[in-house]
A and B are shown apart, each in its own frame.
Chain A
Amino acid sequence: MFDLTLAGAAKALKAKEISAVELTSAYNEAVAALNPRLNAYITTTPELALEQAKAADARLADGSATPLTGIPIAMKDLFCTEGVRTTAGSAILEPFVPPYESTVSGKLKAAGAVMLGKANLDEFAMGSSNITSFYGAVENPWKRQGSEAKLVPGGSSGGSAAAVAARIAIAATGTDTGGSIRQPAAFTGLAGIKPTYGRCSRFGVVAFASSLDQPGPMARNVEDNALLLNAMAGFDAKDSTSADRAVPDFTASLTRGVKGLKIGIPKEYRLEGTNPEILALWDKGIEWLQAQGAEIVEISLPHTKYGLAVYYIVAPAEASSNLARYDGVRYGKRVDGADLIDLYERSRAEGFGAEVKRRIMIGTYVLSHGYYDAYYLKAQKVRNLILKDFTDAFGQVDAILTPTAPSAAFGLGEKMDDPVTMYLNDVFTVPASLAGVPAMSVPAGLSADGLPLGLQVIGKHFDEETVFAVSAAIENAAGFSALPEVRAK
């Protein structure tokens, strides 16, 4: 039963080979068995899931079911869920029970998806390894060959990634600000897409960096992502940056093929010192697409090397502003103080973890009087040059192929020497975030020690369809079928 993909499970449910209650019960048991070890969920909701599964069975019987009806999923704990605690991985939101539902989780609910629980994440989605969560690190279900060392699942959507990889969810939601869907997908052998900025509503998603944050799906294959995005995407008047555009049926593009498509290979992504395994996989991806009739074009994205520096000014600046709302007064954790200022300072000192404090402080500094122009304004201008790089490139090509991450999953406790080393994880994913273009990670191969590696397909604004077409072509050629050691069976 745990071998079923989302599409497969939908088919089995529709054919009445299995009921939604049976499927959800099996997943509830698997969650109970494996979550204490993996820590993929912060909060599990088995009773709610069963209730939703019963309602799903009714819909399956009366013909009002969608492809998601009765599908057990994990919800990243950054989406506000009415009546279900939402922590954003932070101590400051430990007691927070939202009185409303985020648009994206609401759409999935309306489609009949079953929520197994709220998935772990880096605190306020700030991180690339899921180690900054107040609720503890998440264990990657994959192991290096011959080693039992614990590896990170990537981040910030690390709980979502670990849950789907270990088969304690069929699929999951994630959010991506600088790579938070794509990098964990790559680290756990999953496919995951960051849609175009504006494609999925941010309403009710706990805000990190509002000009970058974008919800998206994570699942076992490209098709499952298309099915989820069909339900998650769409205009929402409650999000001022939501795109008022028709949502195509993304599954229709899966079989389009890549014949005649021009695929750009950015020379600046061939960074000095990049792991040769990653470069070899990239070359393989190029061959696969060429063999299926795509034309490969070398392109230049000249400002790539500045992407991380821009990101680590813009994202903290927006975070410092967004997180000003956590003051211990209206909701969340309060630590009493001598006066109101003392209450604010103590609540925030105890409520936020080290990485979040660092980013708030950097953001406060680059926005402060006298430094705004030198840092924030400068970064916004270079951001425009990065967007122009992509606009120019997309004048020549239909999509761009790159590696997703510079390495396979690393060990818990590695890359901890200083924040900048950890930030380098996002070097290949951040530019697409800054430009707002859609990008997907597809599992494409294994490292020498048996860990999954991903390739990234970047498309034009609102052209997720080409991203899906190219990703499906890579998926077919790669034939990725390896499974993690820790999983529900």
Chain B
Amino acid sequence: MSLDAATVRRIAKLARIRVNDEEVSTLQNELNAILGYVEQLGEVNVDGVEPLSGGAQMALRQREDQVTDGDMAEKILANAPDRIGNFFAVPKVVE
């Protein structure tokens, strides 16, 4: 299976990365090389094999659903590229 330019553009859109025409053609070649390499997994028989999602040899822990942290708006906003008061500021979303 090989990606065409339109698919590369669609993936870039999904990934929220702006790409120009030149990048599309480079990415198309590179992504196809990677996908070509991973095609070999097709030959492995995985009938009845459960997917392994994590490296941890254990079930995920549960904890009480309670607030353990907070009250640090200034710290959280300190790295904001733009802010208004205690809010992150972005271009207008709703007209």
Residues of A within 8 A of B (CB): 95-97, 99-100, 197-198, 211-212, 214, 237, 240-241, 243-244, 303, 305-306, 308-310, 312-313, 320, 324, 327-334, 336-346, 348-349, 352, 357-358, 360-362, 364-365, 368, 375, 377-385, 387, 418-420, 423, 433-436, 461
Contact = CB atoms under 8 A, between A and B. Distances in A.
A334 B88 CA distance: 12
A368 B40 contact: no
Contacts of B12: 361
Contacts of B18: 342, 345-346, 348-349
B55 A378 contact: no
Contacts of A352: 17
A310 B81 contact: no
B90 A343 contact: yes
A309 B88 contact: no
Interface residues of B, number: 50
Given A360-B17, A361-B11, A343 B55 contact: no
B22 to A, nearest CB: 12
Contact of A380 (B8, B30, B52, B56): B52
A243 B60 CA distance: 10
B29 to A, nearest CB: 8
Nearest to B76: A99
Given A345-B16, A387-B52, A330 B38 contact: no
Interface in B55-95: 55-58, 60-61, 63, 72, 75-76, 78-82, 88, 90-93
Nearest to B50: A384
Given A309-B41, A362-B31, A320 B46 contact: no
5 contacts: A198-B58, A214-B55, A330-B76, A334-B82, A365-B11
B79 A211 contact: no
A403 to B, nearest CB: 21
Given A340-B90, A365-B31, A384 B51 contact: yes
Given A212-B55, A237-B63, A334-B82, A310 B41 contact: yes
A361 B51 contact: no
Nearest 9 A/B pairs, CB to CB: A436-B55, A197-B55, A380-B51, A331-B79, A334-B81, A384-B52, A99-B75, A345-B18, A349-B18
A92 to B, nearest CB: 11
Interface string B30-43: 11011101101110
A327 B60 contact: no
Most buried by A among B14, B15, B19, B41: B15
B49 A385 contact: yes
A39 to B, nearest CB: 25
What DSSP secondary structure best describes chain B's contact surface?
loop
A309 B40 contact: yes
A294 to B, nearest CB: 26
Nearest to A368: B14
Contacts of B6: none
Nearest to A341: B16
B44 A349 contact: no
A317 to B, nearest CB: 11
B27 interface: yes
A241 B88 contact: no
A308 B37 CA distance: 9
Contact of A329 (B76, B78, B81): B81
A86 to B, nearest CB: 10
Contacts of A382: 41, 44, 46, 49
Contact of A357 (B17, B44, B46, B82): B17
Contacts of A241: 54-56, 60
A323 to B, nearest CB: 9
Contacts of A95: 79
A7 B80 CA distance: 42
A97 B76 CA distance: 11
A243 B50 contact: no
B94 to A, nearest CB: 10
B3 to A, nearest CB: 8
Contact of B30 (A333, A349, A364, A418): A418
Contacts of B17: 345, 348-349, 352, 357, 360-361
Nearest to B69: A238
A385 B44 contact: yes
